[in-house]
Amino acid sequence: MGLVIGVLLLLAAPAAAQLAEPPDWAADALWYQVFPERFRNGDPRNDPTWASLEFPDVVPESLWARSVWTADWYARQRWEEAIGPDFYEHGVFHRRYGGDLQGVLDTLPYLDSLGVNALYFNPVFYAPSLHKYDAASFHHIDPYFGPDPEGDLAQIARETADPTTWGWTAADSLFLHLLEAAHARGMRVVIDGVFNHTGTRFFAFEDFRASREDSPYWDWYLPLAADDPATPEDEFDWQGWWDYRGLPVFADNAHGTDLHSGPKAYVFAITRRWMDPDGDGDPSDGIDGWRLDVAEEVPVGFWQDWHALVRSINPEAYTVAEVWGDATDFLDEGGFTATKNYFGFAIPTEAFLIDGRIGAEQYAQNLTERTAAYPLESARVLMNLIDSHDTDRVASMLVNAGMQANFDREVSPRYSEVYDPRAPNAAERDLQRMIAVLQATLVGAPMLYYGTEAGMWGADDPDDRKPMVWPGLTYTDECLDPRGQERACDPVAFDGDLFDFYQQALALRRNTPALRYGTFEVLAAADAAETLAFARRHEGEEWIVMLNRSDAVQRIRFGQRGADAPLVPIFTSRGEVADIASLNVTIPDEGSVSFSNAIPPRTVVVFRRATQADVRPYGLDE
């Protein structure tokens, strides 16, 4: 039985958290996540070397080479086979493809043409791993992302923790040039800040480990066990993130309410450095904000002080916390602008549209309550993602919908014999397009993980970090399975049709104020029909979105005032607008307030309530 939702749920929702006032630009943001090492190799001269690897001793130096960008992802090179037989345990994490900042610079026109206007970078700071969450420094860009790695490394070696000794490396300067180029195109740039742990090559930790109690950084970390001089082994140990010694965690203050003063002062110094590089009080040459990794594992007192610093440098800065659960109280207490909206968008959307763990009625309730938990001005700047470097890709979520295990680290052939690494079929792509339309039309700023618009698929880490599929490159078909199972070959190529669709979906949002700023109300939801309808309203405009998840044509009925104004179909997740113009949009004659709209299977249709005669589909040039 269908459920009509809206005002009642809004009234029943808990009081909204009082978050920091968001910057004006954040509601207009169309986000794109860049994973630098796998995005584009713009300068092969700066490619990583064997010595730059995280664990070079594991890899045969004489055999190791940069991995081939266009190869079958599951094909192994000689040096990988020399390490051992297992794809995941013996080689893939030692691969380097050479993605760099020049590659991002070269592809800014591509990103511009897609319609994105805000870039979120996974860590760009100096670190030996492919993912860069194991920082060796927060005050320098990774030398292998810039044009002169050897020169940069030599300069870094001469510096100390004293900010007065910090110069600008070639990689740093290229990053500042990238900021300038992005800003010239109207793009904002946010970078990843990891302030609860470092890598073991971090300058302070290296001294901590070498000098022990005599180190000026002894209190920065958490020693667990001292060395026993009576044994030949070194028992010295420290606290690592999730007990992994390769990511030593920063110490808190004695009360656990703040970071220790040493790492806190260092983080404050690098915050100033990247937000106002020339220190002249004008932040326009710096980054526009921060994505904060594992934010809940840093004391809230630190975040309060840090946010005061951030907004003293740039009142228009955007800070987004990585929080997977209900983030309302934490964001409020810490002073954040937003969260990556797993809880309010990604998880319920996956549960309804992909796995079917919840019905349309529960999905509607989740959207209503979790949106209403924030003031509207805060809800509309939440980062609405569906996948990321921490999940399998949305295309692969759809392929493996029956597992009902997305947002679980084990959704991968690495852990599962039944996880299917194949490309999505046409029906699964239909659902991907439906999700994209929801990203474009729901409350919150949409975010795309690199390559989603190009058709990429892949399981959870490391398979979600394949090299970007670019137009103009010829890729080997993906025919191998890491478990040795048989599979059909999947052609790998840039999907121009899918790109065009994402381009149009982002244009719809960009050109429609109601979709960026408007209120939200669910009009109808029906579990049996797998249908949903909701409205976005702003300054007299009304847009209505109708969704049919089922494999049959469904009719959506809902009561609505203003029935004398017809609904005009503007955008659809499947087919051209012309194909839906003949949909049976019934306008009652007298007194009735019931609409009846036939929606094709696996389709979202976006309508505008006509207020003028010249309503027409939004295009890229409007």
pLDDT digits (tens, 9 = 90+) for 561-614: 545 567 888 999 986 665 554 444 444 444 344 455 788 899 999 999 876 443
Same domain, 221 and 364: no
Q: Is 551 inside any structural domain?
A: yes
d(Cα 358, Cα 349) in Å, to the nearest integer? 9
Task: Give a yes or no: residue 588 inside a domain.
Answer: yes
The pLDDT assigned to 17 comes to 54
Interval 85-104: pLDDT, tens: 999 999 999 999 999 999 99
Which pLDDT band holds residue 350 (cuts at 50, 70, 90)?
A: very high
Same domain for 435 and 560, yes or no, is: yes
pLDDT tens profile 310-328: 999 999 999 999 999 999 9
Identify the band that residue 402 occupies on the pLDDT scale cut at 50, 70 and 90: confident
- Whether residue 90 lies inside any domain: the answer is no
Average pLDDT, the chain: 91
Which of 224, 248, 272 is the endpoint of a domain?
A: 248
DSSP element (H, E) containing 244 = strand 244-248
Residue 35, pLDDT above cutoff 80: yes
Residue 596 lies in a domain: yes
Answer yes or no: do 422 and 549 share one domain. yes
pLDDT on residue 136 = 97
Task: Indicate the pLDDT class of residue 15, thresholds 50, 70 and 90.
Answer: very low
* Whether 222 and 357 share a structural domain: no
Which of 181, 216, 248 finishes a domain?
A: 248
Residue-range definition of the domain harbouring residue 220:
203-248
How many of the other CB atoms lie within 10 Å of CB of 226?
A: 12
- 457 part of a folded domain: no
Place of tokens 């618009």: 453
More confident residue, 565 or 231: 231
Asked whether residue 404 falls in the same domain as residue 541, the answer is yes
- DSSP label at 402? G
Question: Residue 160's pLDDT is what?
Answer: 85
Please report the DSSP string for 403-421 in residue order. G--TTSTT-STTT-SS---
Same domain, 433 and 579: yes
Q: How many domains is the chain built from?
A: 2
Is residue 403 one of the residues assigned to a domain? yes
Read off the pLDDT of each residue in 146-163 and give the average, rounded to a whole number. Answer: 94
Least confident of 287-291, 319-323, 352-356, 593-597: 593-597
Mean pLDDT, residues 503-519 taken together: 97
Q: 368 and 242 in one domain?
A: no
Task: Please name which of 578, 521, 580 lies closest in space to residue 553, comparing C-alpha atoms.
Answer: 580
Checking if the pLDDT of 452 tops 60, the result is yes
pLDDT of residue 216: 95
* Of the residues 192, 222, 248, the one at which a domain ends: 248
Q: Are residues 225 and 359 in the same domain?
A: no
Asked if 348 and 406 count as a contact pair (C-beta separation under 8 A), the reply is no
C-beta atoms surrounding 542 within 10 Å: 21
Q: What single DSSP character describes residue 585? A: -
Please report the pLDDT score of residue 69 as a whole number.
Answer: 98
Is 426 in the same domain as 536?
Answer: yes
**382 within some domain:** yes
> In CATH, what number is assigned to the domain containing residue 568?
2.60.40.1180
Does residue 555 surpass a pLDDT of 70? yes
Q: How far is CA 20 from the centre of its chain?
A: 21
pLDDT score at 36: 98
In the predicted model, is pLDDT for residue 531 greater than 50? yes
Element (H, E) at 303: helix 300-313
239 in the same domain as 359? no
367 and 218 share a domain?
no
- DSSP code at position 354: I
165 within a domain of the structure (yes/no): no
